[in-house]
Amino acid sequence: MEVGFIGLGAMGRPMAQHLQRAGHRLHLWARSPASLAPFAGSAAVVHPSPAALAAATEVAFTMVTASTDVEAVALGEDGLIHGARAGWIQVDTSTIAPATARRVAAALAARGAALLDAPVSGGERGAVAATLAIMVGGTVEALARVRPLLECLGRTIVHVGDSGAGQVAKACNQMIMVSAIEACAEAMHLANAHRLDLGRVRAALMGGSGASRMLEVMGERMVRRDFAAGVESRLHHKDFGILMDEAVRLGAPLPIAAQVWQQLNALMAAGGGRDDTASLLRVLETASGKDRA
């Protein structure tokens, strides 16, 4: 297929490369020419605008940061919508507000095109290994057409519901995941207050009912005090902003998420937005006056 890709960052780049290796011809647009460098010398076609990319493709993937970025790429001046036509599909793998996904979907539908909101979970490692979990909102028909492409990228593909449903599922995923990271940080902080060996505590917990993927990965980072970004905490902060907006709009109490949101706010205020979310441990240490740097 003729497949477009916009958003060639830490996750988007390997995702696009998987599609290319599967035999699809890539069409690319990027704000930064440097992000196109890994595709130099390949058959990938570079376009001057998202609109031009859409006009040359059957399907285009987007993997950008925020709701405003998706809206600008899709609906802005020279956006994808200006090259879209009947039957064309945008697959947005970003994590954005459900309302934005529905707004873009409606605008594309008016032209006979479609949006699948298909946020992914698994991080850079999952993108490289093509083991992402993909949560899809949109029509069954559009998903059937692009499923072979999604199968190049992920291990689990679930159609959650209509437009925006994929983003709701991703918000739920982020709520559980980051709350678990905060729980790991609090456990490590308590163990450290008792002057225990954190590595041994983590090993003990991994053998018990408290074992989890977050304790395995983030707990280890906390033990090693490796706060270099796996996923920058500012991105989880952005995700929780979406959660809290949804909670206010729907009148849905999210008490644990609200507390984690405050810890993420504290981490941002301390300048830790570019650090890994395991840095939530340092927020606790600072609050207790025992910051270990």
Give the active site residues: 170
Are the beta carbons of 48 and 18 closer than 8 angstroms?
no
> Angle formed by the axes of helices 213-224 and 165-193, to 10°?
50
For the chain, the distance separating the N- and C-terminal CA atoms, rounded to the nearest angstrom, is 50
Cα separation, 188 vs 199, in Å, equals 9
CA angle 253, 123, 33 (to 5 degrees): 115
Cα separation, 166 vs 18, in Å, equals 22
Strand bridging mode 132-137 / 120-121: antiparallel
CA distances from 171 to 157, 174, 218, 236 (A): 16, 5, 20, 10
Are the beta carbons of 60 and 49 closer than 8 angstroms?
no
Decide: helix, strand or coil at residue 82.
Answer: helix
Provide the H-helix boundaries in the chain.
Answer: 12-21, 50-55, 67-75, 98-109, 123-129, 140-150, 165-193, 198-206, 213-224, 233-250, 255-269, 280-287
